[in-house]
Structure 1
Amino acid sequence: MATFVHLTPAAHTARVRRVGLKAAGRGEWRGVFLFPVLPSYTLTHQWLRELSRRPGPRRLVAVHVRLPDDEPVAVGRYSDHQPPRVTAAEAVRRVAGAADPRGWEVFLPRSVDRGEVRHVRPVRQVNGWRYRPGAHGTPPCLCFGCRDRGGYGARRLRERRPHPLDGPPPAPRVLLARVEAAEARGDTAALRDALHWYGMRRRGPLARLAPLARHADPAVRIALVEAMAHWSTPGVDSLLSELEHDPDPRVRQAVDDWRVR
């Protein structure tokens, strides 16, 4: 039997003891993430500080799970897009034998039954790494995909070390002036650039930018979709629904790509 640990909020302790661990996620990645129980306490619970950064309860507990040696799982580093499918025993062997097990994880593509839960134990809340293994002491990446939006000191950090492509974006009035100037000149490249910066914001002047949904250049309409799709501004969904019927297939594909995110 192979033994793993799963970290979950302490508030879920009673439910875990009653029904086990429910699968989460969607599609082929619906299941439970685990990590082998290693001789090192620090490595076994290395994911704690990173998981506690997520919204919701921050105090976590360790759920010890025992699986058959031949249980099918996937194992690899968190950055692996297609981790290999192996048995539970082989996953333990690979993680234990890795030169640096930090950042490894095991994925079980199903729920964990109550009978497979062996213990639910408290764990030290200051254990593990944050952001990525070895991140301490290295300057953080401030691109749109990596930065910690809403985190402590995030805004000051972006202002002190602005990213050349991903901000912080110019003030709304500056961007609106750029849009108007680009429209007056017929400069579609400048118009797409201004929409790119609008995409860095949570809201935008939808009423002013909505006419761009009928711009002659499909690239501008695509840039509009990518800029506004995640806005919380009222009216975004209806404008996206309109662009779902755009005559250009690339625009329709851009809307579809955002719908499934």
Structure 2
Amino acid sequence: MAIFVHLTSAANAARIRRAGLRADSWARTGERGVYCFPVLPSFTVTHQWLRELARRGTRGGGMVAVHLRLDDDEPVLVGHYAGRGKHAARSATAAEAVHRIRELDDPRGWEVFVPRAVTAGEVRRVRAVPQGVGWRYFPGAHGTRPCTCFGCRVRGEYGGRRLRERLPHPLDGPDPKVPVLLERLAAAGEPGDPKEVAEVLYWFARRRRGPVEALIRLTEHPDARIREDLVWAVGGWRSPGVGELLERLAGDPVAEVREAAAQARSDG
């Protein structure tokens, strides 16, 4: 039997003990499943992903480690998170994945993906772990200048605003204000030029709250890409009406839109 560890918010611990791990992560292949890492002799390497995952926010008082046991012949994907070539994710059995990672000179950044949910019977234990373990941003990032572009920064991260003020990114200026974005959306016409609407949604996605009532008409936009962009733009908002908007899109005729809405609702 191969033993792995999955890291998650402490708020999920009771549900995981009761019902196991949901298949709510996505692999690059489009499959849904659970990310994990082999339990190795090094505690630090085993839990290397903790600080990077916690950087995106936790609930319930930090992160916990979920130990799971899989059959040696269980099919999984194994590779480096940014891997290309020989480091790209490849199919393997659970035992082969453990062996491959154990033999690496530097296993930082590697991961295993189980393309299914993990049952409660496969969860061996859920336990607290020190919250300062692992790397942030990328393996070996310590001592390098952090990037403050929109793609790298995390909304609400502790000290994020001070960091952006100290190290402003040359390509990311101030965001357009909401009235400006609504004017651009109105000028795009009805139902709205897809290119212009997509750019407006890009800016709305950078916000924590927004005017849901002004965007809900986009749930009927004829371009499915716009409807999917709408999910990612408002899915993380804490504004009234977000639940109703996502509920509409959960019944969308296009599978990609439905899946995006389901993901946003589960994350919320």
TM-score, normalization by structure 1: 0.72
Change over 3 Å in CA distance of 1:165–1:49 after alignment to 2: same
Change over 3 Å in CA distance of 1:210–1:113 after alignment to 2: closer
Give runs of aligned pairs for residues 32-71 of structure 1, distance below 5 A: 32-53=34-55, 54-71=57-74
Q: What are the ranges of 5 or more consecutive residues in structure 2 without an aligned counterpart?
A: 233-268
Change over 3 Å in CA distance of 1:161–1:111 after alignment to 2: same
**Residue of structure 1 aligned with 2:80, choices 70, 74, 77:** 77
**TM-aligned CA deviation for residue 236 of structure 1:** 3.7
Secondary structure of the 2:136 match is coil
CA distance in 1, matches of 2:12, 2:194: 49
What is the letter of the counterpart of residue 136 of structure 2?
R
- Give the count of matched residue pairs: 223
CA distance in 1, matches of 2:126, 2:205: 41
Secondary structure of the 1:31 match is strand
**Residue of structure 1 aligned with 2:183, choices 188, 196, 208:** 208
* Map of 1:17 onto structure 2: 17
Change over 3 Å in CA distance of 1:254–1:88 after alignment to 2: closer
CA contact (8 A) 1:78 1:105 kept: yes
CA distance in 2, matches of 1:4, 1:206: 46
**TM-aligned CA deviation for residue 219 of structure 1:** 6.0
CA distance in 2, matches of 1:105, 1:13: 21
Q: Percent identity?
A: 53
1:233 aligns with 2:233: no
**TM-aligned CA deviation for residue 56 of structure 1:** 1.8
User: Which structure would you say has the larger Rg?
Assistant: 1
Residue by residue over 1:158-200, the C-alpha shift from the partner in whole angstroms, topping out at 9 and shown as x without a partner, is 2222212113x1xxxxxxxxxxxxxxxxxxxxxxxxxxx42xx
What is the letter of the counterpart of residue 159 of structure 1?
E
Secondary structure of the 2:17 match is helix
**TM-aligned CA deviation for residue 65 of structure 1:** 1.4
What is the letter of the counterpart of residue 36 of structure 1?
P
Residue by residue over 1:200-256, the C-alpha shift from the partner in whole angstroms, topping out at 9 and shown as x without a partner, is x6x4434533442149x98656544544466612444246358x35xxxxxx47625
CA distance in 2, matches of 1:124, 1:224: 41
* Map of 1:258 onto structure 2: 229
CA distance in 2, matches of 1:92, 1:33: 14
Change over 3 Å in CA distance of 1:228–1:95 after alignment to 2: same
